[in-house]
A and B are shown apart, each in its own frame.
Chain A
C-alpha cells in the first residue's frame, strides 16, 4: 500500500480548489483521520465479449500515470490496493457498449479503475452509478495511438450520496476521446473530468449535463491540459437548477502551454435557473502561452427561463407545465442525444421530469 505524499495537507475549504465545496458534507473523504474502505464495487454488466477483458490487478502493478494535486484522489491512491483494469484489445471494434455498474451499498469506499483503449480500437464504455454511495474514486483512461473511445458516466445516485472523483484521460497519438458526464443524482457530487495529451493529433470532446434540485451540490471541474502540439478539445457543459439551495459549480480550466502550437480549443458552459434560491457558479479559465494556435475560445452564460419561448409555445395552446418541460428537454437534447442509447436517454429525461414536478418548477 502506498502512503500519502509527505506534503499532503487536509483541505480546509480556503484553498482555491475547495472554496466552492461544502467540506462538512463530504463525509470526511478528504480527511486522513476518517477510515474509508478499500473496496471494488464496480462490475461488468452482462457477459464478457470478444475485444475486451476486465481484471483485478495489484495497485502497485498499475500505478497512475498522471500526477494530481487533488487531496481526495491522493488519498484514493494511498489507500487502494487493487485496481480494476478494463482493457480494450488492440484493433478491436466493440460494437455494443461495455457497461460497468456500481453499487457500493451503505459503506464508504475508495476505488481506482484504469481503462486502456488499445491502439486503433473503437469502443463505448458506460459507467452507471446509482443507489447510495459515499465514494472517492479515480478512473484513468489511457487512449493508445489511433484509438477511439466514447466514455459515458451517469451519476444517478440516490439523494443522500456523496461522490468525489477524477476521470482523467490521457489521449495518445491521433486518438479520439469522446466523453459525456451526466450528473442528476446525489447530495454532493464533485467530479474532475480532466484531459492531457501524450502525443500529437489527439482530439477530446467533453460533454456534460447536470441537473440540481433543492439541496444538491453538483460540481464539475474540467481541466484540459494542452502540453503537446496539434491537439484539439471541445468542452460543452449544460446545467439546469431548480429549487431552494440547488447549487452547481462549473470550472473550465484550459491551459495551452508554450510548446502546444496548433492547438484548437473551445469551451462552453450554459446554465438555466428555473427558480429563486438556486445558484450556479461558472468559471471558464483559458491560459495561452503561445500565439501559434488554430483557435481558442470560451463562453459562459447563466440565465433565467426565457419568457418569450414560454409565450410562443403557450400561444399555440401548450399548457405552461408542458411548455417548460419542452424547453428544458430542448436545452438538454444536444447532450442527451449524443448518448445514442434510447433506453438511457428516456430514463434520464423521465428522471429530470419527475424531479421538476417534485420541486414544482
Chain B
C-alpha cells in the first residue's frame, strides 16, 4: 500500500519580471488503487502540478510538501523520484535521436531494478507488453519518440508504465490527440496496470471522454492554481454538461 501526500504545494516559475506563482496551495492524497481525476480549464496549472511532482527543473517549489510513503519527494533528484515509485506519462514525450526504444527501455529497467534484466525474459516481457498495446514489434528498433504519431507516443508512455511498475502514476493529458480506438487501447493498458499492480493514479484531463474508460474514484476541479471543488464521479458528469465557466473568473 502506497500513499502520495501533497500538502499546501506552492510552485512558481522564474520569469524576466521575477517569480510568477502558478500553484497556490494544492492539497491531495492518492492511495494505491485509487484513480483521482484532475480536471480543469487550460492554463489552470494542472500540468505544472504533474511536472513539479516529477521534479522538472523549470519549476521552483516555494512552499508546501510532497511525500511518498513518508519520504520527502521534493528532496529527491528526478531519477530518485522514479526509483521511489513515481511515474509521469507526459503530454508531449520528448524525442531522443539515436537512442532506440529497446535500448531506452532496458536502460530504464536496469536503473530501476538495480540490475540488468535477464535478456531472454526481458525480450519476452517487452514483446508481450507491446502486444497488449497493439504495438508492432518493429517499434523497439525506432528512436525514442522520433517521428512517432500522437497515438504512438501515448502508447509508448503506457508501455513504459507497464514495464517500470511504478506505485503512483501521473497521467498528464494522456487522452489528448487520441482517436477513439487509440483511446480505448491506452485506457485498457492503464486499467490493466492498475489491476495488476494496485497502481494509484492521478489522471489529468481537460475532457470527460477518457473517464468513460478509466473510472475515477474522485474528481477534483482545478482552477487558478488550486483545487476548487471535489467530489465523486458525478462531478465529472456535471462538468460535462456545464463546462468550466463557473470556475473561471470573468
B partners with A:
yes
Q: Which residues on A are within 8 Å of B, measured CB to CB?
A: 306-309, 311-320, 322-323, 326-327, 329-334
Contact partners of A306 in chain B: CB under 8 A: 94
Contact present for A313 and B57 (CB under 8 Å) = no
**Cα distance, A228 to B79, chains bound together (Å):** 55
Contact partners of B160 in chain A: CB under 8 A: 316
Contact present for B54 and A315 (CB under 8 Å) = yes
Q: Known contacts A331-B97, A331-B98, A333-B98: does B57 contact A315 (CB below 8 Å)?
A: no
Does B130 belong to the interface (CB within 8 Å)? no
Most buried by A among B90, B98, B103, B164: B98
Contacts between the two chains (Cβ within 8 Å), count: 82
Contact present for B83 and A313 (CB under 8 Å) = no
Contact partners of A311 in chain B: CB under 8 A: 54-57, 78, 94
Contact partners of A322 in chain B: CB under 8 A: 107, 111
CB < 8 Å neighbour of A317 from B57, B83, B95, B96: B83
Contact partners of A333 in chain B: CB under 8 A: 97-99
Contact present for B111 and A326 (CB under 8 Å) = no
**Cα distance, A334 to B99, chains bound together (Å):** 10
Contact partners of B57 in chain A: CB under 8 A: 307, 311
**Cα distance, A180 to B207, chains bound together (Å):** 51
Interface residues on B, range: 20 to 34
Contact present for B88 and A315 (CB under 8 Å) = yes
Contact present for B111 and A330 (CB under 8 Å) = no
Given contacts A311-B54, A327-B99, 4 further A-B contacts (CB under 8 A): A312-B90, A326-B104, A330-B143, A332-B98
Contact partners of B107 in chain A: CB under 8 A: 313, 318, 322, 326
Q: Known contacts A319-B111, A322-B107, A322-B111: does B78 contact A314 (CB below 8 Å)?
A: yes
Contact present for A308 and B94 (CB under 8 Å) = yes
CB < 8 Å neighbour of B81 from A307, A315, A319, A334: A315
Contact with A along B164-187 (1 / 0, CB 8 A): 100000000000000000000000
Q: What is the CB-to-nearest-CB distance from A18 to chain B, in angstroms, rounded to a whole number? A: 34
Q: What is the CB-to-nearest-CB distance from A4 to chain B, in angstroms, rounded to a whole number? A: 45
Contact present for B164 and A316 (CB under 8 Å) = yes
Contact present for B97 and A314 (CB under 8 Å) = no
**Cα distance, A306 to B54, chains bound together (Å):** 17
Does B82 belong to the interface (CB within 8 Å)? yes
Contact partners of B55 in chain A: CB under 8 A: 311, 314-315
Q: What is the CB-to-nearest-CB distance from B109 to chain A, in angstroms, rounded to a whole number? A: 8
Q: What is the CB-to-nearest-CB distance from A62 to chain B, in angstroms, rounded to a whole number? A: 41
Across the two chains, which residue of chain A brings its CB closest to B56? A311
**Cα distance, A48 to B56, chains bound together (Å):** 58
Contact partners of A326 in chain B: CB under 8 A: 96, 99, 103-104, 107
Pairs A–B under 8 Å by Cβ, sample size 24: A309-B94, A311-B54, A311-B55, A312-B90, A313-B107, A313-B108, A314-B77, A314-B79, A315-B78, A315-B81, A315-B82, A316-B79, A316-B104, A316-B111, A317-B82, A317-B111, A318-B111, A319-B111, A320-B77, A322-B107, A326-B96, A330-B98, A332-B98, A334-B97
